[in-house]
A and B are shown apart, each in its own frame.
Chain A
Amino acid sequence: KNQVEQSPQSLIILEGKNCTLQCNYTVSPFSNLRWYKQDTGRGPVSLTIMTFSENTKSNGRYTATLDADTKQSSLHITASQLSDSASYICVVGFTGGGNKLTFGTGTQLKVEL
C-alpha cells in the first residue's frame, strides 16, 4: 500500500531559527516528490518538485532533499519567519497511476517570536 509518513506531526520554533521536516514514503513505482505549504483555510502552494534523479532542490529559504534509495525526503527551512507558520505537506507521485498522488498528513509548523 502506498503511504507517505511525515514527522514531526507538529513543531514550534522561534523566529530566525532553522528547522527540518521529514517525509518517508513507500510509494512505488516512484515518479516524483513534492513539498507544499498550506496556510490555514487556503489551498496548498507548491514549494519544490523532485524527480528520481534529483537529490536536492531549493526555493528561497526552503531546501528539499531526496534519497530515493532510502525513500526519504526532508524539507529544511532557513531563518524562519512568522509567515512560515503553516502546514507542510509531502506528496509523492507514482507512475502508472494516471497522475495519482499520495498525500502525507502534513507537519504543522508554528513560528513564534
Chain B
Amino acid sequence: GAVVSQHPSWVICKSGTSVKIECRSLDFQATTMFWYRQFPKQSLMLMATSNEGSKATYEQGVEKDKFLINHASLTLSTLTVTSAHPEDSSFYICSARRLAGTGELFFGEGSRLTVL
C-alpha cells in the first residue's frame, strides 16, 4: 500500500523554539496534504489543507502565523510550529491524497511534540 512518512516521529523542545515536521508521500504524488492534531483520547482535528504550490487553507481557530505550512513539491509538505509553548504539545498527523486513482487518503505515523 501507499506510504506516508513523517519525521521526526517524536520531538522534545524548549518553550519559545520552533519545530519543523515533515510529511512525505514515498511512493505516490499528492497534490493535497492535510495536517491534523490529536489530543489524548480525542479524535483527529483538521488544522489545515495544504495544496502543492499554493498557500495552505487553515481551519477556523488555527493560527496561520503559528503553524506555518509549506507544500513545495508533490511529495513533501512541512508543518512548522513557531515559538512553541507547552499547550502546543500534541500528536500531529498528516495525510496525503493520492493524485491518481480513487484519491484515497493515506495517513502518516504521526509526530509527538512535547514542549517543555
Contacts and interface: CB of A to CB of B under 8 A. Distances in A.
A103 interface: yes
Q: Is the interface of B mostly helix, strand, loop or mixed?
A: strand
A56 interface: no
Nearest to A106: B43
Interface in B80-103: 91, 93, 95, 97, 102-103
Contacts of B6: 43
B37 to A, nearest CB: 12
B104 A43 contact: no
A49 interface: yes
A1 interface: no
Interface in A28-42: 34, 36, 41-42
A71 B25 CA distance: 33
B67 interface: no
Interface string A17-34: 000000000000000001
A42 B49 CA distance: 21
A43 B107 contact: yes
Contact of A41 (B32, B105, B107, B110): B110
Contacts, number: 47
Interface residues of B, number: 26
B49 to A, nearest CB: 7
Contact of A44 (B44, B49, B97, B112): B44
11 contacts: A41-B110, A44-B44, A89-B43, A98-B57, A99-B97, A100-B46, A103-B43, A103-B45, A105-B42, A105-B43, A108-B41
Interface of A: 34, 36, 41-46, 49, 89, 98-101, 103-106, 108
Given A41-B112, A46-B104, A108-B41, 10 more contacts: A41-B110, A42-B110, A44-B93, A45-B107, A46-B106, A49-B104, A98-B57, A101-B46, A104-B43, A105-B43
